[in-house]
Amino acid sequence: MTAVQAPLALEAIGVTKRFGSITANDDVDLQVEAGTVHALLGENGAGKSTLVNILFGLYHADEGEIRVAGKPVRMDSPRDAIAHRIGMVHQHFQLVPVLTVAENVVLGQEPTRGLGVLDLDAAAAEVTRLAERYGLDVDPRAVVEDLPVGTQQRVEILRSLYRQADVLILDEPTDGLDPNQKHEVRNLISEMSAEKAIVISTHILEEVDAVCSRAIIIADGRIVADGTPAELEQQSPFHNAVLIDSPDDGLAEALEAMANVALVEELQGGRFRAYPKDGQTIVVEIADLIRRRGWSTSRLSVEPPRLDEVFRNYTKPKGKSGGKSDRGKAA
């Protein structure tokens, strides 16, 4: 790993958690810097939720260490996590349906007029202030159960903002939202990431591309891949592969003859896909080749980045080691 000057906002070292005979997390490491958005990718049941619950003090790790701002911490309950300025937005919203937005936001850290008497006006004012600052549209006096899902999510996020969390953990933040709401939440995440370290647990890959600066893939409780979305995409079997609609019968042989082409695959309708050796860029040379031969083609394109292929490679059912993607197997 690269040396880091400022202490990491949140760090997990060798975290292991077992439920009976099942190992939900197996020697998991995680490093989250302030100002970045980390994705935890994995299938349902891969161990993402276990890890985020450990990071928020809901579960206690059997082995390993959690560090906040460089210091080892012990978290036995969410109260400890909140004290260490870790906030969490749960997949199944942890809001009390019959209470108002303001009551839910301040719950556990209420403003008072002294002697434990609630100051709900101050709570409502604080919620309004935070909502305006982050451009969220929420009525502090509305009762939560009357609100649509997208608004309830905003209330969850406001709650973490109210607690001035430095580290924000979001479990499946766009699950069940419509496309507009998803877009809004992603914008909000990007905005918040300027001053916070954010961890997103998700199985939605477009989310990773959209907002994350780093992604970790978890399978069977282990971390199987760790890198920027671009780095991970390079591990796709389709990385830098080129699609060509055949202009001439001689194309396949000509491509196969090229030094840095690993494999040529014939697709339907006279279309070919050329895979490069070691992920090199081959599209320029193929364009050259077509120009030299005087062919014309209606299609010559590089495969778009496909994180889903990487993800599938790593999370395939048992039998695959998953340690390395095996290129060219597609043919």
Q: How far is the CB of 147 from another protein (least distance, A)?
A: 15
Dump strand ranges (E) for 4-85.
10-19, 22-32, 37-42, 63-68, 71-73
Task: Dig out the tokens for 167 from the structure.
Answer: 């580290």
- Does position 82 bind another protein by CB under 8 A? yes
- Evaluate whether 48 touches 23 at the Cβ level (below 8 Å): no
User: Whole-angstrom Cα distance, residue 162 to residue 1?
Assistant: 34
- Does position 285 bind another protein by CB under 8 A? no
Closest to another protein by CB, 100 vs 193, is 100
- Does position 103 bind another protein by CB under 8 A? yes
- Does position 107 bind another protein by CB under 8 A? yes
Task: Give me Rg for the CA atoms of the chain.
Answer: 24
Q: Binding mask 155-194 vs another protein (x if CB under 8 A, - otherwise)? A: ----x-----------------------------------
Please report, as a single letter, which amino acid is at residue 51: L
Task: Dig out the tokens for 140 from the structure.
Answer: 């502090």
Stretch that binds another protein, among 109-117, 147-155, 268-276, 316-324 (CB under 8 A): 109-117
H runs (alpha helix) in 147-260? 149-162, 179-192, 205-211, 229-233, 251-256
Site for another protein in 110-129 (CB under 8 A): 110, 112, 116-118
Q: Which of 78, 227, 279, 322 binds another protein (CB under 8 A)?
A: 78
- Kind and range of the H or E run holding 25: strand 22-32
- Does position 109 bind another protein by CB under 8 A? yes
User: Whole-angstrom Cα distance, residue 285 to residue 242?
Assistant: 11
Q: Which of 4, 6, 70, 77 binds another protein (CB under 8 A)?
A: 77
| Site size for another protein (CB under 8 A) | 27
Applying CB under 8 A, the residues found at the interface with another protein are 56, 58-59, 77-79, 82-83, 88, 90, 94-99, 103-104, 107-110, 112, 116-118, 159
